[in-house]
Amino acid sequence: MDYTKQLDNYKKQAVYSMTQGEMLLLLYDELIKRLRRGKIELEKGMLDKFEEDLVRAQEIIRYLRKILDRKYQIAKDLGRLYNFYEGFISRIIASRKPEQIDELLPMIQDLRDAFAQADKAARMQVQANGRG
């Protein structure tokens, strides 16, 4: 087995062993990465790459909205927030103003951090229940 195939198998196994919380954080990390990279590309005048990264960011947001469990009120609130984010990114693509990415990033980072804290608390609760 060659190195590339081994690496691909390792990556697949890593994804399969992730918790839902870890996968959600991975999506947020990719979203943040795409926005940051898009800003750099915009500042360098690499407009095709900029648009590609921001469109990918929108796709991630659409996916996050799609996987929401609508039976909970928080999902409805998150759905509205994701709609806002997607529209904001559309405006960034149209206006090509990098400072707008700077406005959006902290909002997404804060939400990502809130999910990270919730995931950590949930894992601690599971561990505590497992011991008791």
pLDDT higher than threshold 70 for residue 125: yes
79 within domain boundaries: yes
What's at 57, amino acid-wise?
A: A
52 within domain boundaries: yes
- How many domains does the chain divide into? 1
Distance CA 5, CA 10 (A): 9
DSSP one-letter string for 33-71: HHHHHHHHHHHTT-HHHHHHHHHHHHHHHHHHHHT--TT
Q: How confident is the model at residue 128 (pLDDT cuts 50, 70, 90)?
A: confident
Q: How confident is the model at residue 132 (pLDDT cuts 50, 70, 90)?
A: very low
113 within domain boundaries: yes
2 within domain boundaries: no
Domain encompassing residue 98: 21-117
Say if residues 35 and 101 touch (Cβ distance below 8 Å): yes
pLDDT, tens digit (0-9, with 9 covering 90-100), for 38-72: 999 999 999 999 999 999 999 999 999 999 988 98
9 within domain boundaries: no
Burial 20-36 (b: 16+ CB within 10 A, else e): ebeebbebbeebbebbe
| 51-55, 74-78, 97-101, 126-130, range with the lowest pLDDT | 126-130
Query: Which of 21-30, 97-106, 120-129 is predicted most confidently?
Result: 97-106
62 within domain boundaries: yes
Query: What is the domain-level CATH number for residue 64?
Result: 1.20.120.340
Q: What would the mean pLDDT of 16-29 be, rounded to a whole number?
A: 86
14 within domain boundaries: no
In this prediction, residue 129 carries a pLDDT of 81
pLDDT, tens digit (0-9, with 9 covering 90-100), for 92-120: 999 999 999 999 999 999 999 999 999 89
Pick from 95, 128, 130, 89: which is nearest to 108 by CA?
Answer: 89
Distance CA 74, CA 38 (A): 29
